[in-house]
Amino acid sequence: MSEDRTLALARQLIALDSITPQDAGCQELLKARLAALGFRIERMRHGEVENFWARRGATGPVLCFAGHTDVVPTGPHEQWHSAPFAPEIRDGLLYGRGAADMKASLAAFVTAIEDFLAGHPDHQGSIALLITSDEEGPAVDGTVRLVETLAERGETLDYCIVGEPTSSAAFGDTIKNGRRGSLSGRLTLYGVQGHIAYPHLARNPVHQAAPALTELAAMVWDEGNAHFPPTTWQVSNIHAGTGAGNVIPGEMTVDFNFRYGTASTAEDLKQRLEAVLTRHGLDYNLRWTLGGRPFLTEPGPLSSALQAAIAAETGVAAELSTTGGTSDGRFIAAICPQVVEFGPINATIHKLNECVAVADLPRLSAIYRRTLEQLLG
């Protein structure tokens, strides 16, 4: 029996050492398969990042598959049970870095389109792919740049499926129809350095900041809403001191992050946090980084088509969810009213011995194909 086509392509992709922002030839594999199907392909390299935009058809509606060829670093190779870039099947699982996040989905995109076109060569609308190698990294020269280019040209999308690994307990159980926003800050608090035995001659920024940080940690930023949980604020790093045990530090740095939904705005969160710092009389500098605003796709044709496709292939009733971290969907939402994410089980992503169930690969491809049939068939 010949090897499943989705599995074969996934193995080819996993074998390429595409640690972010390197693509390592993954996109050439994808582009070759798409070109054979009549896609017009545009390479959109920015800096060190390889990207491409591919489209078949000139009319709407436009259904786009979006994803990334880059993967996170492997960690210690000796702690993997097999080499991370030598895909290996053991006990029904395909192992390798990027197996679940997200080379299985990339392979399934291609084979789903191949199968769909075999049965629907004169389909409605257009099929597109938006692929980057800068999702796991800074995400500044990847999808966001492609979206900017498409927006400048007046190109919009009607539907977009991002191939992130969204399934949780069982394959097919979760579709992401939105994501929280991410707002980070680096807070530098200034004091006066001095000898620890003469605190009256110094001013300790750690001591001064403690009441404000306690207040911020206890604040209820919002109550969330029907689609998103309440906003959270978490400190990720604190640094102060010279390393000596007898020196009061002259300054202190605090890194923190908000994860927020549509019940708050980035601007409101900034104002409320800065008001606390000011009220406590702190001498500070604050640098903000907006990683992404929240996006939400209300239930509609895309999520319904995908849920129906999942049910037909797996018997699972997929739930819509906005939990988890950020994704490139936050950028695509600027030019697409319906953006969802769906892919394999995410239990091993970014871990040692990342893997995906071999049996889920043809099912994933079939789900994408069925969705194409419902929306463009």
Q: Is pLDDT at 233 greater than 60 in this prediction?
A: yes
Contact (CB, 8 A) for 262 and 268: no
Is the torsion defined by CA of 223, 341, 344, 95 positive or negative? negative
- Start-to-end Cα distance in the chain: 30
Calculate the alpha carbon distances from 209 to 33, 185, 214, 239, 253 in Å: 57, 15, 9, 12, 10
Using one digit for the tens of pLDDT, what is the confidence trace for 21-71? Answer: 999 999 999 999 999 999 999 999 999 999 999 999 999 999 999 999 999
What is the average pLDDT across 262-275? 97
Q: Is pLDDT at 2 greater than 80 in this prediction?
A: no
How many angstroms separate the CA atoms of 6 and 99, rounded?
Answer: 12
- The pLDDT score that the predictor gives to residue 1 is 56
Please report which confidence band the pLDDT of residue 255 belongs to, taking 50, 70 and 90 as the band edges.
very high
Instruction: Pick the catalytic residue from 23, 115, 134, 135.
Output: 135
Helix, strand, or coil here: 286?
Answer: strand
Q: Is pLDDT at 357 greater than 80 in this prediction?
A: yes
Residue 267 bears catalytic tag:
no
Instruction: Pick the catalytic residue from 50, 70, 158, 360.
Output: 70
Residue 114 bears catalytic tag:
no
How many angstroms separate the CA atoms of 39 and 55, rounded?
Answer: 5
φ, ψ (nearest 5 deg) of residue 253: -120, 135
Half-sphere exposure of 178 (CA within 13 A, CB side): 22
Q: Is pLDDT at 298 greater than 90 in this prediction?
A: yes
Q: Judge residue 303's burial from the number of C-beta atoms within 10 Å of its C-beta, 0-12 exposed, 13-18 middle, 19 or more buried.
A: buried
Q: Is pLDDT at 291 greater than 90 in this prediction?
A: no
Place of tokens 């394999």: 344
Helices (H), 243-377: 266-279, 301-314, 329-332, 360-376
Q: Mean pLDDT of all residues in the chain?
A: 97
Helix, strand, or coil here: 67?
Answer: strand
How many angstroms separate the CA atoms of 95 and 86, rounded?
Answer: 8
Least confident piece of the model among 67-76, 181-190, 310-319, 324-333: 324-333
Six-digit token pair at 80?
């993997």
Whole-prediction pTM: 0.89
- The pLDDT score that the predictor gives to residue 276 is 98
What is the average pLDDT across 126-138? 96
